[in-house]
């Protein structure tokens, strides 16, 4: 069944390609884009960055004006077989239906549970899809919503790749984000996806903080519950950040015209136009064309779900937009490829650990603060108030635990203090050692033992 560009309307956005010789990057140490083959696309990006950062050149752009915008679905991660936020909606309904008879009785929920996408998209306004979006995205606090997205991230896997969705980002685009930031650019997501959905993990996954995520939004309602202020999600003043909505969203949320724009579908055409046509500053446009059925997906006019690429592809040559051919321009697709091949570490590290001491503070007795490390380097745990998770970078006795995503529940002050101390300590960790006593010591850059943990036996 084909959902086509319809889902785009409610949620998302996409991209495209040219050809080139595939060569391994020659000097991975200094090459900022090692996952990009040495083709014209890579050269175009590097040339542009060199031009706008050369203080003595005619095309110099001051850092404050180096705004780069990236579509998310299909540009930074896939949008097949369904957009990932739609997968989240389906999972939420599946999880909640058994406990919520009223919800389970809703005909559109039943259509979703049966995978009847056609029924959800019937009618001029996609009433079914809108209904299940409202059922999963409104009437709860922003904290509750964040926790649900976090649970989805931790517990569900992509049907084809069998990985957490947020591990399925494109390594070449991750390198590009970092390369631009290292050259004074400020990177923004501009996506049809829900801003609240993306902000839960954008910083941990892309290094893009919540305030740099432009997406579809609706108002919240401010009120007090149990004496504390909360924001309740609604569908009021819903704004769809797609197609013409993208330049509108850029103006509303960023207020400055970008000089670089990266997309993958017709939904990104307007923001590519806004970035590159008649811009008084030098500008750059790029489309990612999905051409690699073996490693990812291959489509343009007929995507598995969202991400139709027809008019933007046709408009690319006249506008000078660079079209990435995923198959030939990228020597690897997934962020984890490299990590899995180089990550080697003691098996003794794998397991579930309980914190006994954090920066010379003992731990609160009743609060179990844990760190679980899996054999693929996934790190997760509990601070006794919140769950956190992420990818550890481990090699030999080196370990980095800085990029964790955490739920955002509040708890008693003593536990919150301990949590803050623990997460701050994890962020400082650079090495580990396992003592003869079986304890795990996490060390900072100066070699101080800042966290001590004992193994929890299964």
Binding site for its own copies (CB under 8 A): 55-56, 58-62, 64, 67, 142, 186, 188, 195-196, 199, 203, 209-213, 217, 219-222, 227-229, 231, 237, 239, 244, 247-248, 251-256, 270, 273-274, 277-281, 359, 408, 410-411, 416-417, 420-421, 423-424, 427-428
Minimum Å distance from CB 442 to its own copies? 15
| Smallest gap from residue 94 Cβ to its own copies (A) | 27
Interatomic CA distance for residues 161 and 283, integer angstroms: 36
Q: Count the alpha carbons within 13 Å of 325 in the hemisphere toward its beta carbon.
A: 12
Task: Return d(Cα 189, Cα 311) in angstroms, integer.
Answer: 22
The nearest distance, CB 392 to its own copies, in angstroms, is: 18
CB-nearer residue toward its own copies: 113 or 416: 416
Which CB, 94 or 251, lies closer to its own copies? 251
Provide the minimum distance between the beta carbon of 211 and its own copies in the complex, in angstroms, as a whole number: 5
| Distance separating the N- and C-terminal Cα atoms of the chain | 44
Judged by beta carbon, residue 62 or residue 115, the one nearer its own copies is 62
Among 426, 433, 447, residue whose Cα is nearest residue 396: 433
Taking the complex as a whole, the smallest distance from the CB of residue 238 to its own copies amounts, in Å, to 9
Q: How far is the CB of 225 from its own copies (least distance, A)?
A: 10
Judged by CB, which is closer to its own copies: 12, or 423? Answer: 423
Which residue is listed with tokens 């995520």?
213
Nearer to its own copies, 104 or 232 (CB): 232
Q: Which is nearer to its own copies, 428 or 452 (CB)?
A: 428
- Note whether 385 and 414 are within 8 A (CB): no
Residue the block writes with tokens 């995978």:
115
At its nearest, how many Å lie between its own copies and the CB of residue 220?
5
Nearer to its own copies, 375 or 417 (CB): 417
Strand partners, 232: 141, 221
E-only strand ranges, 271-414: 284-291, 298-299, 322-325, 351-358, 361-362, 370-373, 378-382, 387-391, 393-395, 398-400, 404-406
Residue 316 exposed, middle or buried by CB count within 10 Å (0-12, 13-18, 19+) = buried
């Amino acid at each position: 069944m084909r959902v086509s560009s319809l889902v785009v309307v409610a949620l998302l956005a996409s991209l495209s390609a040219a050809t080139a010789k595939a060569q391994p990057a020659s000097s991975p140490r200094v090459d900022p884009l090692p996952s990009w083959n040495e083709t014209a696309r890579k050269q175009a990006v590097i040339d542009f960055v060199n031009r706008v950062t050369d203080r003595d050149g005619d095309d110099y752009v001051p850092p404050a004006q180096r705004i780069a915008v990236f579509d998310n679905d299909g540009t930074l991660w896939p949008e097949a077989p369904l957009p990932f936020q739609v997968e989240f909606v389906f999972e939420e309904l599946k999880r909640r239906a058994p406990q919520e008879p009223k919800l389970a009785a809703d005909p559109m929920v039943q259509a979703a549970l049966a995978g009847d996408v056609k029924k959800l998209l019937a009618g001029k306004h996609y009433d079914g899809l809108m209904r299940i979006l409202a059922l999963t995205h409104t009437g709860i606090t922003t904290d509750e919503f964040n926790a649900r997205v976090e649970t989805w991230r931790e517990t569900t896997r992509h049907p084809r790749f069998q990985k957490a969705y947020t591990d399925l980002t494109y390594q070449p685009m991750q390198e590009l984000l970092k390369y631009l930031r290292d050259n004074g650019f400020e990177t923004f997501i501009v996506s049809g996806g829900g801003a609240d959905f993306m902000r839960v993990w954008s910083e941990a996954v892309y290094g893009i903080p919540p305030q740099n995520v432009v997406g579809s939004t609706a108002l919240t309602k401010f009120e007090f519950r149990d004496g504390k202020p909360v924001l309740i999600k609604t569908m009021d003043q819903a704004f769809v950040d797609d197609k013409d909505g993208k330049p509108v969203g850029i103006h509303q949320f960023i207020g400055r015209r970008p000089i670089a724009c990266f997309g993958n579908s017709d939904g990104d055409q307007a923001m590519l136009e806004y970035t590159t046509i008649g811009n008084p500053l030098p500008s750059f446009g790029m489309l990612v064309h999905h051409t690699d059925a073996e490693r990812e997906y291959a489509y343009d006019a007929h995507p598995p779900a969202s991400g139709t690429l027809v008019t933007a592809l046709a408009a690319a040559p006249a506008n000078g937009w660079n079209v990435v051919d995923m198959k030939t321009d990228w020597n690897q697709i997934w962020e984890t490829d490299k990590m899995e091949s180089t990550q080697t570490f003691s098996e003794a590290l794998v397991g579930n650990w309980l914190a006994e001491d954090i920066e010379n503070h003992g731990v609160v007795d009743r609060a179990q603060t844990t760190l679980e490390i899996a054999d693929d380097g996934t790190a997760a745990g509990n601070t006794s108030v919140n769950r956190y998770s992420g990818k550890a970078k481990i090699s030999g006795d080196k370990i980095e635990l800085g990029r964790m995503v955490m739920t955002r529940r509040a708890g008693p002050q003593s536990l919150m203090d301990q949590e803050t101390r623990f997460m701050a300590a994890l962020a400082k960790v650079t090495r580990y050692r396992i003592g003869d006593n079986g304890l795990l010591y996490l060390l900072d850059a100066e070699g101080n033992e800042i966290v001590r943990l004992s193994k929890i036996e299964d």
